[in-house]
Amino acid sequence: MPIYEYIATTESGCEQCRSGMQLLRRLSDPELTVCPHCGAPVTQRISAPNVVAGNSHRTSEGHLEKHGFTQYRKTGTGVYEKTAGKGPAHIADDGK
């Protein structure tokens, strides 16, 4: 669900809508035309999106460990070395 910014179109609005407010709304929600707090007319403000380029932030060792994941890196045939998280330092294929 996107976060929309709204601002009052008149001076008669409350403190929240006069200074601008952010609301989490579904795409299917009807267009908001009045402040939900005071009923003053509001308009949607155009704002810059928050965009993250690439996926490197999702696979960083610190990010994975912070969220409880363990990451292993292949170091040889059937051998993996832990790079982040909890668990054994190495995992090896027993050849069975």
Q: Is the pTM of this model over 0.85?
A: no
Residue 66 within any structural domain of the chain: yes
Residue-range definition of the domain harbouring residue 22: 3-45
Q: 87 Cβ partners below 8 Å, 6+ apart? A: 70
Question: What DSSP state is assigned to residue 41?
Answer: B
- Which pLDDT score is estimated for 41? 93
What's the pLDDT tens digit per position in 2-25? Answer: 888 999 988 888 988 888 898 888
Residue 85 within any structural domain of the chain: yes
Domain tally, the chain: 2
- 88 and 66 in a common domain: yes
What's the pLDDT tens digit per position in 27-47? Answer: 888 889 999 989 999 999 877
